[in-house]
Structures are given as C-alpha cells and as structure tokens.
Structure 1
Amino acid sequence: MRVPPFEYYTGLLKATGLLIAGIIIGSALFMSIYHQHLNDALVDNRELRAKIEKLEQDNDSFKKTRNQQSVINSIDIVVEPGDLNPLDKVTEQEIERRVRSDLSVIKGQKIATFAETPHVYQRLLSQKTYHGILDKDYTVSLKTMLLIQNELRVWVTAKEFKRSTM
C-alpha cells in the first residue's frame, strides 16, 4: 500500500487552519459585540426601572397631598463622585435609590417642619455607609439640601469605603 506524498496537502492544511482561525476570531468578535449590547440593554433596563419606581412614588405622594400646598411632594437626588474615580451608572442609581428610601420619611411633611429642623435630616445622611453595592461599600455625605416650592433637592457625594486592615 502506497501513502500519497504529504506535499500535496500543505495548501489544504493551510487553508483549513486559516478557516479555523477565522472562525475563532469571528466568534470572539461577535461575542464581544453581543456582550456590549447586552450590557447596554441591562443598564438601560435598570435606569428605566429606577425611573418607573421614582415616578410611581411621586405619583402616590402627589395623590395623597394633591390639595395641600405646603407639603414636600418629591425628592430629587443628585449623586456626585467624591474621588477622582467616576461612578458607573448602576452604582449611581443604586446609591440614589437607597438615599431616596432613607429620605422617604420627609415626603408628606410640612415645609415649615422641615425648615425648623434641617439639621436632623442632615445628620441622617452624614457619613452614612451603604454596603453591598456591586460588591463594594460606599460612604455618602451630604453636600447640599435645597427646598424649592414642594420639591426637595439633595446633592450627595459618594466615596468608596476603604476598610482599615489591622
């Protein structure tokens, strides 16, 4: 039995190897693009869910206090990064959601009551640590509280909490 010479198949082997390498590179490129689009869709989904939750809470409070003029109806939170590292959108939204839930006791209160004791609400957020936000902890400090008509606007700075190891 005679074995055909290997030189006849070198071109076929090169073409097969090139085809397999192209398939691997193409699938890796496809997966990276797919992952990026999926990540964008998940971030948009979280943003929209947070907006829906905020709008539902605002709608409920507006229904309760529709006829009262001197009551805090909505709370708007602005989260700013405290370090040089900017916060990603998911972390920023989670911090905003947690701060809003902490300040939910203010909704429905009279503006005069809030104006008499703003330091109580300032202490509520001074150096508060939120645990378990994307496997990190963040310390939030109050920067500014501004009351405009029926809306309370709160600016907070968020820094990543570093635990001291001893």
Structure 2
Amino acid sequence: MRIPPFQRFRRFSQISAVFVLGMVTGAVMYNAVFHLGYNVLWLNNQEMRVEIEQYRNDIKTLKKYNNTSTVIREIKLRMEESKDKESTSGLDPVTVKEIISKMGTDLEPMRGRSMFDIDTDGKLARLLLDGKIYIVREKEYSARIRTMLVMEGVLQIWVEINPYKRS
C-alpha cells in the first residue's frame, strides 16, 4: 500500500487551520460581548429591585403616617466615600445597595417615631449599627454611621462602608 505525499494536502490543511482558528476567535469575541452586555443588564436589574423594595416600604409608611407631620415617615440611606480610597475600590454598586437595604431593615423600627425624640433614637441607632458587620456575597463589610439628619419627616443617614478587616 502506497501513502500519498503530504505536500499535496499542505495548502488545504493550512487554509482549514486558519478557518478553524478564525471560527474559535469569533466565538470567543461574540461570547465576551454577550456576557458583557448581560452583566450590565444584571447589575441594572439588581439595582432596580432594591430601589423598588425601598419605594414599596416608603409608600407603605407614607400611607400609614400621612396625617402626622412630626414623625419619621421615610428613611434614606446614602453611602459616603471613605477617606481610604483602597478600601472602597472593591465595592460594586450591587454590594452597596444590598448593604444599604440590610441597614434599612435594621433601621425600620425608627419609622413612625417622633422627630423630637431623635436625640435618644439617634444614639441608640449609632450604638446598634456603628461598626456592625454585614455579610454580602460571602464577604464581610463594616458600616459606620457618619451623619444623621431629620428634616420634614425624612431621616437621612450617611454611612461609610468598608471591607471588614479582622484584627
């Protein structure tokens, strides 16, 4: 049995190898673009879910306390940038929203309280939440209350969120 010389098939094998490599490269590029778009969509979806839940709680509270003007009807939590830039660089918006929603559930008993008793309630909130550790996506974060402000039935709290470092 005689084997044909390989030189006859060399050009065909080179063209087919380039074609297969082009297919693989195109599939990788398409997959990367698809996952990038899907990731952006997923992050927006998570942010919207947290905002919807917060708005539902606010609507329920506003309906409950719409006739009284001296109670805390709404709690707004805002993240304040830390002085240490390396610690906040690892926080993505979804993680921040989840931590803020967990803090909102911890602060839920403050809704409906009198605005004039905020001095005792504020001290209590600081003692309970200052330095509290929240676990989000199997990572630990510590929250620190920086500022609390009550105006027109809205309690606004600025918090500083850092990854928790065990000592």
**Same fold judged by TM-score > 0.5?**
yes
Equivalent residue number for residue 84 of structure 1: 85
Q: State the shift of 1:2 in Å.
A: 4.3
What SS does structure 1 have at the residue aligned with 2:113? coil
The range that moved more, 54-63 or 121-130, is 121-130
- Number of equivalences: 163
Tell me if the contact between 1:142 and 1:156 (Cα under 8 Å) persists in the aligned partners: yes
Equivalent residue number for residue 123 of structure 1: 127
The one-letter amino acid of 2:123's match is: H
Q: Deviations over 1:44-82 (max 9, x none)?
A: 111110111011000000110011111111111112353
Tell me if the contact between 2:110 and 2:121 (Cα under 8 Å) persists in the aligned partners: no
TM-score of the aligned structures, taking structure 1 as reference length: 0.91
What SS does structure 1 have at the residue aligned with 2:12? helix
TM-score of the aligned structures, taking structure 2 as reference length: 0.91
The range that moved more, 76-85 or 23-32, is 76-85
> Which whole-Å CA distance do the structure 2 matches of 1:124 and 1:13 have between them?
71
Gaps of 5+ in 1: none
Q: State the shift of 1:117 in Å.
A: 4.2
Q: State the shift of 1:4 in Å.
A: 3.0
Equivalent residue number for residue 138 of structure 1: 141
> Which whole-Å CA distance do the structure 1 matches of 2:70 and 2:2 have between them?
100
> Which whole-Å CA distance do the structure 2 matches of 1:8 and 1:43 have between them?
54
Gaps of 5+ in 2: none
Tell me if the contact between 2:142 and 2:161 (Cα under 8 Å) persists in the aligned partners: yes
The answer to whether the aligner puts 1:31 opposite 2:31 as a matched pair is yes
Percent identity among equivalent residues?
A: 29
Equivalent residue number for residue 101 of structure 1: 105
> Which whole-Å CA distance do the structure 2 matches of 1:105 and 1:84 have between them?
33
The range that moved more, 138-147 or 2-11, is 2-11
What SS does structure 2 have at the residue aligned with 1:153? strand
The one-letter amino acid of 1:18's match is: V
> Which whole-Å CA distance do the structure 2 matches of 1:96 and 1:118 have between them?
17
Match of 1:160 among 135, 160, 163: 163
> Which whole-Å CA distance do the structure 2 matches of 1:68 and 1:51 have between them?
25
What SS does structure 1 have at the residue aligned with 2:9? helix
> Which whole-Å CA distance do the structure 2 matches of 1:118 and 1:84 have between them?
28
What SS does structure 1 have at the residue aligned with 2:85? coil
The one-letter amino acid of 2:3's match is: V
